[in-house]
Amino acid sequence: MTVGDIAFDALTEEEVITHVRAALDRGDGGRIITPNVDITLRAAEARGFLDDASLVVADGMPLLWAARLAGTPLPERVAGSSLIWTLSRGAGLDGRSVFLIGGTPGTAAGPALEAGCPGLVIAGHISPPFGFEHTDFYAELCARVKEAKPDIVYVGLGFPKQEHVIDRLRPDLPGAWFVGCGASVQFVAGELRRAPRWMQRSGLEWIHRLLSEPRRLAGRYLMHDLPFAIRLLSSAVRNRA
């Protein structure tokens, strides 16, 4: 099902977890991308990452609304900030390991995820410093992840940086699954608070994020993402008509 210029897999969150667990049992790795409105707006920039993805699921209520208005509904929102928990719980049932990249140094993301997901093994957690991709630390990061041999790698560095990191790691860990998950590591650690469930369900989570980080997100949300979302919905209505 296509929304904007992105083809999404029509899967529920539970189906995503089932797919990944079965693939890991077979020894098959993969990559999950969860485009929101911002990534959909930047679809041309994301094309190479999307083409490499095993699963592409919608993280954004406006994308679900647009799909429904176009007559090709997606089953539900699959947010990276939710998937990091549910996929880890599924991995814990199989005694699998995860590696976390992102967040602030010294945070409790690993212990928090481990405590909430019985059986899960935390293979490691790295909080790269700002600008690490231009330093020798990049090679050290990749070496540490490769050495840990995790089953799942969560990369929470924001788009597109996290996708470039995944591009670099994937060839060395062909049996692992990679998830670019934005602020999810910070949510797990308690560095940021996720919006209440009613805001998540009603498509208002972006307002909560905006109020939490206005200086960083105001330009992106108000000048780019919101106008694009309106155009996306209008286009869906016109195309169906």
- pLDDT tens digits for 81-100? 999 999 999 999 999 999 99
Sequence-distant (6+) residues with CB within 8 A of 42 are 159, 160
Q: How far is CA 193 from CA 108, 151, 189, 219, in A?
A: 14, 27, 9, 21
Task: Assess contact for 102 and 39: CB atoms under 8 A.
Answer: no
Q: What is the pLDDT of residue 221?
A: 87
Q: What is the pLDDT of residue 195?
A: 84
Residue/partner pairs of 126-131 with CB below 8 Å, 24 or more apart: 126/99, 126/100, 126/101, 127/101, 127/102, 127/103, 128/101, 128/102, 128/157
ω into residue 160 within 30 of 0, thus cis? yes
Q: What is the pLDDT of residue 28?
A: 98
Q: Which whole number is the average pLDDT over 34-52? A: 95
Q: What is the pLDDT of residue 237?
A: 82
CA pseudo-torsion sign 214, 215, 217, 221:
positive
In the numeric block, the tokens 């041999």 are attached to 149
What is the phi-psi region of residue 151: left when phi exceeds 0, alpha when psi lies from -120 to 50, beta otherwise?
A: alpha
d(CA 102, CA 234): 36
Sheet holding 177-180, edge to edge: 55-56, 30-33, 177-180, 152-156, 97-102, 121-126
What is the DSSP code (8-state) at residue 194?
Answer: P
Q: What is the pLDDT of residue 25?
A: 98
CA pseudo-torsion sign 200, 13, 99, 8:
negative
d(CA 40, CA 34): 10
Residue 126 pairs in a beta bridge with 101
Of 39-48, 167-176, 200-209, the poorest mean pLDDT is in: 200-209
Q: Is the pLDDT of residue 239 over 90?
A: no
pLDDT in tens, 118-164: 999 999 999 999 899 999 999 999 999 999 999 999 999 999 999 99
Q: What is the pLDDT of residue 168?
A: 97
Q: Strands 30-33 and 55-56, how do they pair?
A: parallel
d(CA 157, CA 128): 9
Q: What is the pLDDT of residue 4?
A: 86
Residue type, 146: K
Q: Is the pLDDT of residue 241 over 70?
A: no
Of 21-30, 95-104, 189-198, the poorest mean pLDDT is in: 189-198
Q: What is the pLDDT of residue 185?
A: 93
pLDDT band at 75 (very low <50, low <70, confident <90, very high): very high
Q: What is the pLDDT of residue 155?
A: 97
